[in-house]
Structure 1
Amino acid sequence: MDNGKIALGATGVEIARLTLGGNTFGWTSGPEESFEVLDAYVAAGGNSVDTADVYSAWAPGNSGGESEKILGRWLAARARTSGPGRDEVVIATKVGVHPEFRGLSPENVAAACDASLKRLGLDHVDLYFAHFDDDSQPVSAMAEAFSALVDAGKVRAVGLSNLTAERMREWADYARDHSLAAPAILQQHYNLVERKAFEGEYMPLAAQFGMVTESYYALASGFLTGKYRSAGDIAANAARGEAAQRYLTPEGLAVVDALADVAGAAGASPASVAIAWQLAKGVGSPVASARVPSQLVALFAAIDLKLDAEQVAALDAASAPFA
């Protein structure tokens, strides 16, 4: 894998070209499987792990924080062995929709950060994201709250996710004008079947303010791997397949066919091609999760897979209905 890292402005934080999503930890992956995935990800050269305080409150019997707890246990276990040190792994988490910490009021942001640090067993996180917007709060208050966490040494860099581009721009402007910790990274929904907002609004915004971009649902809940081509395929994997249901359209399946064609010519998997396309489009670090270590192979292969202009154009054309 290309081990080149991406610097998040002047924050001192550098992330890998592929970020490991932690939404599966405590949901479709138990602690042992999660540890195996984390070990394999770091062994392959990855350093950036993305979670959120709400992961995985949606799963029966869970209340939120399960992913952070597993990640914290993994970090503690690695510290007792010859595994990577804390400074070698970039930990990102998010605030905004945990059942006990909803919203982005300054008080809630501070309390939620402390709760996340406790679950993770850390004294700071590298990236702290506003997970979803809170339109009851002025942008100025949110920007001040996140910057205060940086000043307190609890957060190294600020990230934004799922705010409108207008509110992100207002945040970045306010931070610049008031000498606060500016947003260094934005994370939005983006893939071959979700292109319009990211390409039209968020990429230009990131370029304007020097923010690194991350994309979540990089494989469209598994749809872009090619494993979901019918309602029967969805039903066979009910835990995660349901989210891919909406892409089972002629237009969506045409994208899967185009991926298969490019993958065949490149000697790669559709998953690798789907992520390589994002990198070719300028995404800094796609976020993708893996339930078991074997699923990481295709993800990492994407980093070294350089699509040519003709291949990118073919995928652009096939996914044009989503642009």
Structure 2
Amino acid sequence: MTGQKAPQMIYRHLGRTGLKVSALSYGAWVTFGNQIGVPEAKALMQQCWEGGINFFDNAEVYADGKAEEVMGQAIKELGWKRSDYVLSTKIFWGGKGVNDKGLSRKHIIEGMKASLKRLDVEYVDLVFCHRPDVTTPIEETVRAMNFVIDQGWAFYWGTSEWTAQQLTEAWSVSKRLNLVGPAFEQPEYSLLAREKVEKDYLPLYKEVGLGLTTWSPLASGLLTGKYSKGHVPEGSRLAMEMYKGLREKKLIESNLEKVDALRPIAEELGCSLAQLALAWCVRNEHVSTVITGATKREQIEDNLGALAVVEKLTPEVLEKIEKAVNSKPEPLPSYRS
């Protein structure tokens, strides 16, 4: 099955900001610096570009900084106009030194400078607090992120895998100090991971206009259908020794059964399993962009084809999907009589 061909890209505002990002984006996690170098990255990013993708995601920790170097060099060789693309990095794990990790003012500023040097750019559009740092006061982190913005090193700041409570506290501090709050969050979101996006963050979409740049829409490749019990394709993400824990977590019988239950739905729509999973994420109105990863040109082509599937997700089809995966979070309790 060839799947859908890519329609015109959809662009959405990132939360309540004025910035527009492509509904599908491309990230460097796992692949850049580990599986692919500059020549391959350059070819894949150009294909994304031609498909309308304008947002490229990275982090200081990816391949110990090499992912940023690879992406930065690829962009330089491609010669893209800086205002035409959106670039991000994330700060938290910067090295082995006692102050090389976390969200202290020291590491945020030093980590930011180091990322910009590796990416070989004057600024990134977005900077994320890659994880919450419970050992650093949120006020210190909020002030440091605002300093980064004031210096012109980034235009917007956000978080990744923070709880709703932590985000609420960050916004409370930001408002009290008349500073810029976190405009977006980067949570895991797929048919197999829905709690934060569909339940925990629900009040924040309206209250602060929280935008989402979601990751792992294919559950580390599980939702492509290429994995089965006892079979992990050579060269795939879950075949890598460094992701042994992820493999043990994802490749469980209940997840594989859900993937099998989705197959007839994808066949009925005339699309691949991956396109169905991606389209399902894109259709969520709270998701600004869905971050994808790919090491091959055909994977990018297939990913882009997911945009044509979005309009096919009618209430009837969505109901079939819900029955297949049975993963919808329990609704928030209501105390109204």
Shorter-chain TM-score above 0.5: yes
In structure 1, distance between residues paired with 2:57 and 2:327: 30
Distance change >3 Å, CA 304–CA 39, structure 1 → 2: same
Question: What are the equivalent positions in structure 2 for 1:255-266 lying under 5 Å apart?
Answer: 255-266=258-269
1:246 alignment partner in structure 2: 249
- Is 1:319 equivalent to 2:320 in the alignment? no
Instruction: Kindly state the Cα deviation for residue 11 of structure 1 after the two structures are TM-superposed.
Output: 4.5
Structure 1: any 5+ residue segments left out of the alignment?
57-63
In structure 1, distance between residues paired with 2:28 and 2:173: 31
Q: Which stretches of structure 1, 4 residues or more, deviate above 6 A after TM superposition?
A: none
Q: Could you tell me which amino acid in structure 1 is paired with residue 192 of structure 2?
A: V
In structure 2, distance between residues paired with 1:8 and 1:214: 8
1:61 alignment partner in structure 2: none
- Is 1:143 equivalent to 2:150 in the alignment? no
Structure with bigger RCO (C-alpha 8 Å, 6+ apart): 2
2:192 alignment partner in structure 1: 193
Q: Could you tell me which amino acid in structure 2 is paired with residue 169 of structure 1?
A: T
Which deviations, in whole Å up to 9, do the C-alpha atoms of 1:236-274 show, x marking residues without a partner?
A: 741287434423334212321232112101111100100
In structure 1, distance between residues paired with 2:114 and 2:291: 24
Q: Could you tell me which amino acid in structure 1 is paired with residue 240 of structure 2?
A: A
Which deviations, in whole Å up to 9, do the C-alpha atoms of 1:82-111 show, x marking residues without a partner?
A: xx3111110010000122530100111001
Conserved 8 A contact 2:215-2:291: yes
RMSD between superposed Cα atoms in Å: 1.9
In structure 1, distance between residues paired with 2:222 and 2:276: 13
Question: What are the equivalent positions in structure 2 for 1:94-109 lying under 5 Å apart?
Answer: 94-100=90-96, 101-109=100-108
Instruction: Kindly state the Cα deviation for residue 21 of structure 1 after the two structures are TM-superposed.
Output: 1.0
The range that moved more, 64-73 or 238-247, is: 238-247
Instruction: Kindly state the Cα deviation for residue 203 of structure 1 after the two structures are TM-superposed.
Output: 4.0
Distance change >3 Å, CA 10–CA 202, structure 1 → 2: closer
Conserved 8 A contact 1:186-1:206: no
Distance change >3 Å, CA 275–CA 204, structure 1 → 2: farther
In structure 2, distance between residues paired with 1:159 and 1:168: 9
Instruction: Kindly state the Cα deviation for residue 190 of structure 1 after the two structures are TM-superposed.
Output: 1.3
- Is 1:280 equivalent to 2:283 in the alignment? yes
- Is 1:89 equivalent to 2:93 in the alignment? no
In structure 2, distance between residues paired with 1:29 and 1:170: 39
Which deviations, in whole Å up to 9, do the C-alpha atoms of 1:264-296 show, x marking residues without a partner?
A: 011111001001111223322111100122111
**Alignment partner of 1:291: what SS?**
coil
Conserved 8 A contact 1:272-1:302: yes
Which residue of 257, 278, 294 corresponds with 2:298? Answer: 294
Which residue of 9, 27, 39 corresponds with 1:32? Answer: 39
In structure 1, distance between residues paired with 2:193 and 2:299: 22
In structure 1, distance between residues paired with 2:115 and 2:216: 23
Distance change >3 Å, CA 71–CA 150, structure 1 → 2: same
Q: Could you tell me which amino acid in structure 2 is paired with residue 277 of structure 1?
A: W
Q: Could you tell me which amino acid in structure 2 is paired with residue 205 of structure 1?
A: L
Equivalenced residue count is 312
In structure 2, distance between residues paired with 1:287 and 1:281: 14
Which residue of 27, 31, 37 corresponds with 1:21? Answer: 27
Conserved 8 A contact 1:53-1:65: yes
Q: Give the % identical residues.
A: 29
Instruction: Kindly state the Cα deviation for residue 35 of structure 1 after the two structures are TM-superposed.
Output: 1.1
**Alignment partner of 1:94: what SS?**
strand
In structure 1, distance between residues paired with 2:315 and 2:248: 30
Instruction: Kindly state the Cα deviation for residue 37 of structure 1 after the two structures are TM-superposed.
Output: 0.8
**Alignment partner of 2:8: what SS?**
coil
In structure 2, distance between residues paired with 1:247 and 1:52: 23
In structure 2, distance between residues paired with 1:13 and 1:197: 23
Distance change >3 Å, CA 200–CA 234, structure 1 → 2: farther
Instruction: Kindly state the Cα deviation for residue 167 of structure 1 after the two structures are TM-superposed.
Output: 0.6
